[in-house]
Structure 1
Amino acid sequence: MGERVELPMPGTDLSLGVIRHGHWGRPVLVFPSEAGSAEDFESNGMVEAVQDLVDAGRVSFFCVDSADRWTWSDNAATTEERASRHHGYTRWLESAALPWIAEQVGGERPLITLGVSMGAYHAVNFTLTHAHRAPLAIGMSGSYDVTSWHGHGEHGDATYFANPMAYVAGMHGDHLDWLRDTASVLLVVGEGPFEVSPTQALPSTTAFANLLSEKGIPHQLDVWGHDSAHDWPWWQKQLAHHLPRFC
């Protein structure tokens, strides 16, 4: 396992961790599943699943902690409060995590974002809002409408700009043209256990792929079969299947 580095969150006394796996190759920013930690990617066999790429110097993974416990997983807060806190997490990525990654790889290089379950939301959302830094997202078994996550209260700007199903629907003009030229999204999901209930990953992923199609944003939808579950062994297989062509 790589060494954990703690990076402070702006305006708080808190810090979040980053762990690097690999010494060379395409940098991949990895988000954990809901309320997870930077350690989860390795401990759940994801690094081992593509160890050949790591050993060959084709990829380096930069795994970050989530902030979900005080953002999207805090069901006592309103959706708008949770979204506002989520934007604080984004500021940490921008001001702390990405500069540290750039330092490690010798400058700003195009990132792949990667995540499973809620981490898929984070990966896809970050690419769609930061395509100049992370032009490719790989989201596995994700849900992309934050208003469906057991929230309550009225939705304002914070929710809108954190919700891919909303802000992508509202995109138009020069910004949409730029995103069409810059970003690409790979959406992977199964039809098996827990992909529909309770996660709603399958219907959410297909609905989001349809929206990307309507907006002309480059993407690929890969739906696995009824044996493919919302679980790490299947995410290992999906990663090993897809990642080699990107690095």
Structure 2
Amino acid sequence: MEIQYYKEPSRFLKREMEFKVFGHSGLPCLAFACEGGRFYDWEDHGMVAALAPLIDAGKIQLFCADSVDAESWLGSGEGRARSEKQERWFNYLAGELIPRVLALNGGTHNRVALLGCSLGACHALNLYLRRPELVCGAICLSGSYSAAPWFGPYHDDLTLRNSPLEYLPLLHTEGLPSTRLAPLFLCCGRGPYEDDFLADTRAMAQALTDRRMPAFVDYWGEDVSHDWPWWAKQAVYFLPQLLQQLTSKAKPSA
């Protein structure tokens, strides 16, 4: 498997940001780890190994992003500074990392797929909803989709922008761009440590239904815990489905 490591400056964050690339070609997939996650977590916790057949076959090229969760969602400082950090990171993703991903992918794709676990699922869904022109699909596993548990009583315009459960009901559905119909998969287990994430997944599924935004929602069994081994199984299960949907959409109609 071809593996590359990058550490590059960000004008939005005014620091160097790291990311890692697995594979040589295929659908560019941008991956986010769980809360406080780092760019190496997907590799360290077996996600890359689980997806190796797709990566080695050139079906996908996996890009693992770094986070600033420790300073934003998990930070202990003043609320506005934390929300501003999160928004700058969002702008880094949309304005810097995704264009870089597409360039490194070889220019054969003009949008990326998004994968995320736990808080990373929120990051993925947030990009899917706010910048649909950049995204061809998303797989969100055991997601936490509200900023409230992380920011407590603090709330401002930027926490709202990064809280899909809060802002989705406020969106006007008239004239939504067709890119919002990109495939979206939500999944959560019903086992240990999944209670809060299961509630958020169900709430998000209802919010999407209310806005007539299609999504495939799947609830796995009571043995399925909030942990990497299950997320690996879910990623292996859903990624081929996403690839199939994208392939079907790309074929000219008869």
Normalised by the length of structure 2, the TM-score is 0.89
Which amino acid in structure 2 is aligned with residue 182 of structure 1? L
Q: Does 1:205 align with 2:198?
A: no
User: What is the CA–CA distance in structure 2 between the aligned matches of 1:139 and 1:96, rounded to whole Å?
Assistant: 22
Alignment match, 1:49 = 50
User: What is the CA–CA distance in structure 2 between the aligned matches of 1:180 and 1:92, rounded to whole Å?
Assistant: 21
Alignment match, 1:98 = 98
Q: Does 1:246 align with 2:245?
A: no
Structure 1's consecutive aligned runs of 4 or more residues displaced over 3 angstroms after TM superposition are 179-184
Alignment match, 1:232 = 228
Which amino acid in structure 2 is aligned with residue 243 of structure 1? L
Which whole-Å deviations, capped at 9, do the CAs of 1:5-45 have from their partners, x for residues lacking one? 01212155411111110111111010111111111111111
Alignment match, 1:73 = 74
Structure 1 segments unaligned to the other structure (5+ residues): none
User: What is the CA–CA distance in structure 2 between the aligned matches of 1:118 and 1:48, rounded to whole Å?
Assistant: 22
Q: 1:195 to 1:96 in 2, by over 3 A?
A: same
Alignment match, 1:219 = 215
Tell me by how many angstroms 1:51 deviates.
1.3
Tell me by how many angstroms 1:212 deviates.
0.4
User: What is the CA–CA distance in structure 2 between the aligned matches of 1:51 and 1:191, rounded to whole Å?
Assistant: 27
Q: 1:193 to 1:55 in 2, by over 3 A?
A: same
Alignment match, 2:159 = 159
Tell me by how many angstroms 1:65 deviates.
0.4
State the secondary structure of the residue aligned to 2:134. Answer: coil
Which whole-Å deviations, capped at 9, do the CAs of 1:89-124 have from their partners, x for residues lacking one? 012112321121121122252211001011111011
Alignment match, 2:119 = 118
User: What is the CA–CA distance in structure 1 between the aligned matches of 2:201 and 2:119, rounded to whole Å?
Assistant: 12
Alignment match, 2:171 = 171
Q: Using the aligned pairs only, state the percent identity.
A: 33
Alignment match, 2:251 = none
State the secondary structure of the residue aligned to 1:149. Answer: helix
Alignment match, 1:183 = 182
Which amino acid in structure 2 is aligned with residue 84 of structure 1? E
Alignment match, 1:88 = 88
Structure 2 segments unaligned to the other structure (5+ residues): 244-254
Contact 2:133/2:179, CA 8 A, preserved across alignment: no
Contact 1:30/1:114, CA 8 A, preserved across alignment: yes
Contact 1:27/1:109, CA 8 A, preserved across alignment: no
Which whole-Å deviations, capped at 9, do the CAs of 1:148-186 have from their partners, x for residues lacking one? 225233x221122111112210011445x2267533321
Normalised by the length of structure 1, the TM-score is 0.91
Contact 2:102/2:111, CA 8 A, preserved across alignment: no
After TM superposition, list the pairs within 5 Å mapping 1:24-43 onto structure 2.
Answer: 24-43=25-44
After TM superposition, list the pairs within 5 Å mapping 1:2-21 onto structure 2.
Answer: 2-21=3-22
Contact 1:179/1:217, CA 8 A, preserved across alignment: no
